[in-house]
Amino acid sequence: MSYEIQIPSILIIGGGAFAKIPEVLARLRCVRPLIVTDPFMASTGLSTRLRDAIANAGVECGVFSETVSDPTTEVVEAGVRAFLNGNFDSLVSIGGGSSIDTAKAIGMQVGNGGQVRDYKVPHSIPQAGPPHIAVPTTAGTGSEVTRFTVITDAITREKMLVAGSPLLPTAAVVDYELTMSMPARLTADTGIGSLTHAIESYVSRKANSFSDLFALQAMKKIWQHLPTAFHHPDSREAREAMMEGATLAGIAFSNASVALVHGMSRPLGVFFHIPHGLSNAMLLPAVTAFSANSATARYADCARAMDIASTQDQNPIAVEKLIQALFQRNQELGVPSPKQYGINEQRYVEVVPIMASQALASGSPENNPRVPSATEIEQLYQEVWNKDM
């Protein structure tokens, strides 16, 4: 059995990597990049700092700062217009996964025309877009090294998964120093989100020996260092490990796919605007418990990699320890249930069947060790509603 591995052609990791962005642009022969970011990044001055660094290298650039937390087709289309009207030749995204995902979709439309919905899974993307340098500022999505983007259809409100090689950033610049000011809530949510990437890629039906290496190393780093990053945000060691873990997890799931947690998490984001990492965190323990008996050995490997279980523990014992630890970690980090998050119960119950249908339609549940029915997904949504984390 063979499998294809895809990672950015240039991957720079470590403190101070941010300063190398002009050099990367030169290596890619990009002479007029468009920076894609969000209003918060613009307000902090980071996008200005990037623009000035690029300008000081003698390269003209523009800034598109209209990205929103759940990227929509309207925002993507505005970005496409900005790119074409400004005669730009490349993209530099800086921010969380939303900025990177938006830049991916902008590049896809520039290279292929049409609308984002034309390319949602299972449709393919024919052509690559302009060069794209991704610069993450959160240790979470791993989008800087993946061939996926998630965009919400502004008309139907569907959170569309788009996948394909043309979405893979040309280069990724991963500098943990950009995460030092992340607040505790964001640190926790993105951290458990990246842990979900690692675990799901390892138990995915599309897992392979290459992705396994990245997944196991990612979950080990994230599990060990997340509490420190949460409680002691100025720890450079913890921040560096979390950033590396998120990127490793991104490589893993980009080459093995995610599963049921992600299928269920996207509709939560659509209907209730729950950040992606947090919705993953809400679901991970319950979905792991649901799936565990169908991949006991794989989940036991996860428990051992995270030092939750020892090599002396039999697989069922290791899995039980894993499930308990996931619930306990959520409690330690203050992960709320949907009810505790403030969602209206009547509205939640009302849309559960729609969310289950959208989760199945995404295709991600098909990669799960235990492939669920729509009824089982509905039951899981009901289970996590007020789950004691």
**Phi and psi at residue 131, in whole multiples of 5°?**
-55, 145
Rounded to whole angstroms, the Cα distance separating 319 from 25 reads 46
List pLDDT tens digits, range 50-83: 999 999 999 999 999 999 988 999 999 999 999 9
> Strand pairing of 10-13 and 33-36?
unpaired
As a whole number, the mean pLDDT across the chain is 95
List pLDDT tens digits, range 292-307: 999 999 999 999 999 9
* First-to-last C-alpha distance (Å) of the chain: 40
The two three-digit tokens of residue 48, written as one number: 């200005």
Average confidence (pLDDT) per 10 residues, the chain, 389 residues: 87 97 97 96 92 94 93 97 98 95 98 95 94 95 93 87 95 97 94 97 96 98 98 97 97 94 93 92 97 98 98 97 98 96 96 95 94 98 82
Exposure string (b/e) for 155-173, b if CB count within 10 Å is 16 or more?
eeebbbbbbbebbbbbbbb
What is the identity of the amino acid at 369?
Answer: P
Q: Among residues 14, 7, 348, 294, which one has the least CA distance to residue 145?
A: 7
Q: Among residues 377, 332, 383, which one has the least CA distance to residue 354?
A: 377
Q: What is the 3-state secondary structure (H, E, C) of 38-67?
A: CHHHHHHCHHHHHHHHHHHCCCCCEEECCC
For residues 204 and 257, the answer to whether their CB atoms sit within 8 Å is yes
Rounded to whole angstroms, the Cα distance separating 239 from 138 reads 10
For each of the domains in the chain, give its residue range(s) and CATH number, in order of start. Answer: 10-179 (3.40.50.1970), 184-384 (1.20.1090.10)
For residues 33 and 88, the answer to whether their CB atoms sit within 8 Å is yes
Kindly state the DSSP code that residue 349 receives in the 8-state scheme: H
Kindly state the DSSP code that residue 118 receives in the 8-state scheme: G
H helices of 2-45, in order, are 21-27, 39-44
